[in-house]
Homo-oligomer: A and B are copies of this chain.
Amino acid sequence: MYQLIDGKATSAKIKEEIAVEVKQIIEAGGKKPHLAAILVGHDGASETYVASKEKACQLVGFNSTLIRLEDTVTEAELLEKVDEVNRTKDIDGLIVQLPLPGHINEQNIIEAILPEKDVDGFHPVNVGRMVIGLPAFVSATPAGILELLKRYNIETSGKSCAVIGRSNIVGKPMSILLSQKTGYGNATVTLCHSRTPDLKEITLNADIIIAALGKAEFLTGDMVKEGAVVIDVGITRVKSDKTKSGWKLLGDVKFDEVAPKCSYITPVPGGVGPMTIVSLLRNTLLASENTIFKA
């Protein structure tokens, strides 16, 4: 019988832990961690994400600032706003909610954020430091997955791991983090993608599978060996006549088929998703303590 990895409960527990830490910091005369978010335009999904980040900040006792800009904002204006936040001493972390309107070069914006405030971990300096094995802000989803593995005492050392999907924010950093000699790593990782011809052969040999390719129910039961650990990063919204909203969320894993073969598996929703906000909070706490770039 498989065990469900409960991201919702784990993230709630970690939020409580962070709230305690914040309380102690303030009691010791320290300052409240402060996260700023820039939201450009009024995209529905982005509004939802930013709102839940703000709510999480309140819950753990952070200050949060939401900076709203219309989607007519120019790249120069947005860069100026980023610079302003960079120079605001009280703000510890800054995220710019993606995607941005097409006329703005996202990479330029990401690189304009001070690495010391880049709690999303998207800046090349943080990516590079992570790869080299230096202290860094690690991007939220891979950090959240590592935290889930730790909390469930799932061994990674000496295990074979298939990461499916080579995105900059999940697949690539995940593959490096699990390979590292330091930290929660020492797995032998195969990074799989759209040009991998014999994917099933690889996943069938994997002790741990991270499905992060963004295709609903891609990983099927015949692709997974008995006892595997399966982490589902995908989240695709599809129409459904069985839910009140008319929509349901699917992961990259065909859960009903795959789960019975697993030792551990994350559900969608309620698996990896809730952990990403927790990673963001953790990074903001680290930023306020100024520990990453001091080391």
Interface residues of A (CB under 8 A from B): 107, 123-129, 131-134, 157-158, 160, 166, 168, 172-173, 175-176, 179-181, 186-193, 195-198, 202
Contact = CB atoms under 8 A, between A and B. Distances in A.
Given A179-B193, A186-B195, A195-B186, A131 B128 contact: yes
A61 to B, nearest CB: 32
Contacts of A173: 131
Nearest to A205: B201
A64 to B, nearest CB: 27
Nearest to A173: B131
B125 A168 contact: no
Contacts of A195: 157-158, 181, 186-188
A191 B188 contact: yes
Given A176-B172, A186-B195, A195-B188, A128 B124 contact: yes
- Of the candidates A126, A160, A188, A193, the one having the most CB atoms from chain B within 10 angstroms of its own CB is A188
A158 B198 CA distance: 9
Pick the 9 closest A-B CB pairs, nearest first: A124-B128, A128-B128, A127-B128, A190-B190, A186-B195, A188-B196, A124-B129, A179-B191, A124-B125
Contact of A172 (B123, B160, B179, B186): B179
Q: Which of A173, A187, A196, A202 has the most CB of B within 10 A?
A: A196
